[in-house]
């Protein structure tokens, strides 16, 4: 490489050049975060998506620097060497897959801007990611009830109903942590029984969930409790929107609860019921929704619709878990059972 190229951090935006031909290869590598957001997630990527892409592309650029080669001169064979490097570093199949997707996006932008003739990452395959490599952990409906019971004696109706609503939105309605975090009062229509979910990608993308009566009752009770207990305090708006799940911490009183705040509440219930396991997070409640829903309906299409999966193969793992639990394949080899017969 002719000179050390250090990618600029996101947020240090310069005025974008309107003429792509004026962008040099070195400038592009240093400032690719000025261009990348316009080409991923339909031009409206979330902050989380951008951060993930940036980390992975920066890893690739650092590897190129170690090889003393400009990133935009890397060809198909070089990318195969890079993929091998990731595997040698014991990256998981999922991580290798994510890194290659990010690098492919990096080169796609370079192609669009006329900096390279073609995307050298096009034919670079990644190790398969098997979603069924291990069963998704989950809690039974009885265990979900135990989590709810933890908050039953909370004297504040605001906090009690908020915490119960968090459990319901994740374990009953199948929402992701980021979706609960982003939810706004304006997204809720109690008359119709719909919550417009702000998905894990672009914040402007919304999908409807048609919540059950139990969730509707909690939403109504929670919103009533806010009016009753918090009438003398100011709810912190998020622009023009009103956060649905409010924080009760002193540093962020009645502001949008953070993702760590959501995890704290769920972990509190998990520890109180002794259901907490190392490495398990709020996402286990979404897995619980999928597994319990399939167990009750035996309808994969219904599970896919509730969890809003685009790929049915991801949904299939919930059927896999339930079917394996119900059909103990080695029962015919149970020596004790055969001797009793």
Look at residue 330 and tell me whether its pLDDT is greater than 80. no
Please list, in sequence order, all residues whose beta carbon lies within 8 angstroms of the beta carbon of residue 68, skipping any fewer than 6 positions away. 1
Residue 82's pLDDT is 95
Residue 243: φ, ψ to 5°: -55, 140
* More reliable by pLDDT, 129 or 323: 323
Which whole number is the average pLDDT over 191-195?
Answer: 95
Angle at 16 between CA 12 and CA 20, to 5 degrees: 135
Q: How confident is the model at residue 77 (pLDDT cuts 50, 70, 90)?
A: very high
Considering the chain, what percentage of its residues have pLDDT values greater than 70? Answer: 83
Q: How confident is the model at residue 206 (pLDDT cuts 50, 70, 90)?
A: confident
What are the tens digits of pLDDT across the range 4-14? 455 555 444 44
Look at residue 174 and tell me whether its pLDDT is greater than 70. yes
Residue 313's pLDDT is 77
Angle at 278 between CA 218 and CA 310, to 5 degrees: 60
Q: How confident is the model at residue 324 (pLDDT cuts 50, 70, 90)?
A: low
Residue 14's pLDDT is 46
Residue 25's pLDDT is 93
Q: Which of 132, 138, 131, 134 is nearest to 296 (CA)?
A: 138
* More reliable by pLDDT, 319 or 139: 139
Residue 327's pLDDT is 67
Please list, in sequence order, all residues whose beta carbon lies within 8 angstroms of the beta carbon of residue 72, skipping any fewer than 6 positions away. 25, 28, 29, 110, 115, 116
CATH of 142-275, one of 1.10.443.10, 2.40.160.210, 3.30.70.100, 1.10.10.10: 1.10.443.10
Which whole number is the average pLDDT over 316-333?
Answer: 70
Cα 191 off chain centre by: 29
Q: What are the extents of the domains in the chain?
A: 20-112, 142-275
Three-class secondary structure assignment of the chain: CCCCCCCCCCCCCCCCCCCHHHCCHHHHHHHHHHCHHHCCHHHCCCHHHHHHHHHHHHHHHHHHHHCCCCHHHCCHHHHHHHHHHHHHCCCCHHHHHHHHHHHHHHHHHHHHCCCCCCCCCCCCCCCCCCCCCCCCCCCCHHHHHHHHHCCCCCCCHHHHHHHHHHHHHHHCCCCCHHHHHHCEHHHEECCCCEEEEECCCCCCCEEEEECCHHHHHHHHHHHHHHHHHCCCCCCCCECCECECCECCCHHHCCCECCHHHHHHHHHHHHHHCCCCCCCCCCHHHHHHHHHHHHHHHCCHHHHHHHHCCCCHHHHHHHHHHHHHHHCCHHHHHCHHHHHHC
* More reliable by pLDDT, 185 or 7: 185
Angle at 59 between CA 55 and CA 61, to 5 degrees: 115
Q: Which of 199, 208, 174 is nearest to 293 (CA)?
A: 174
Q: Please name every residue paired with 189 in a beta bridge, in sequence order, or none if there are none.
A: 194
Look at residue 53 and tell me whether its pLDDT is greater than 50. yes
Which whole number is the average pLDDT over 161-187?
Answer: 96
Which whole number is the average pLDDT over 214-234?
Answer: 95
CA distance 166 to 302: 22
Look at residue 40 and tell me whether its pLDDT is greater than 80. yes
What are the tens digits of pLDDT across the range 268-323? 999 999 999 887 889 999 999 999 999 899 898 899 999 998 888 788 877 776 76
Mean pLDDT (the chain, rounded): 86
- Residue 309, sorted as left (phi over 0), alpha (psi -120 to 50) or beta, turns out to be beta
Considering the chain, what percentage of its residues have pLDDT values greater than 90? Answer: 64
CA distance 81 to 85: 6
């Amino acid at each position: 490489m002719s000179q050390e190229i250090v990618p600029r951090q996101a947020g240090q935006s310069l005025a974008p050049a309107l003429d792509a031909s004026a962008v040099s290869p070195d400038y592009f590598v240093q400032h690719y975060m000025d261009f990348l957001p316009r080409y991923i997630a339909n031009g409206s990527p979330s902050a989380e998506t951008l951060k993930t892409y940036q980390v992975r592309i920066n890893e690739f650029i650092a590897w190129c620097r170690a090889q003393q080669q400009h990133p935009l001169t890397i060809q198909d064979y070089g990318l195969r060497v890079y993929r091998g490097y990731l595997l040698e570093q014991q990256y998981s199949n999922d991580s290798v897959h994510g890194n290659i997707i990010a690098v492919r996006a990096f080169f796609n932008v370079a192609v669009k801007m006329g900096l390279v003739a073609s995307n050298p990452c096009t034919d670079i395959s990644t190790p398969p990611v098997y979603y069924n490599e291990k069963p998704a952990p989950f809690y039974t409906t009885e265990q979900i009830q135990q989590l709810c019971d933890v908050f039953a004696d909370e004297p504040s109706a605001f906090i009690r109903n908020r915490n119960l609503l968090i459990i319901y939105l994740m374990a009953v309605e199948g929402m992701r942590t980021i979706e609960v975090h982003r939810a706004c009062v304006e997204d809720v229509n109690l008359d119709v029984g719909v919550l417009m979910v702000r998905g894990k990608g672009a914040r402007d993308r919304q999908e409807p969930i048609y919540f059950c009566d139990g969730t509707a009752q909690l939403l109504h009770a929670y919103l009533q409790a806010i009016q009753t207990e918090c009438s003398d305090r100011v709810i912190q708006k998020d622009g023009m929107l009103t956060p649905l799940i409010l924080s009760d911490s002193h540093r962020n009183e009645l502001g949008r609860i953070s993702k760590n705040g959501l995890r704290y509440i769920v972990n509190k219930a998990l520890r109180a019921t002794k259901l907490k396991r190392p490495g398990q997070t709020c996402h286990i409640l979404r897995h619980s929704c999928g597994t319990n829903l399939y167990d009750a309906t035996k309808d994969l299409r219904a599970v896919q619709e509730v969890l809003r999966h685009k790929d049915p193969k991801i949904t299939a793992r919930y059927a896999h878990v339930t079917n394996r639990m119900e059909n103990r394949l080695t029962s015919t080899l149970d020596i004790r059972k055969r001797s009793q017969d």
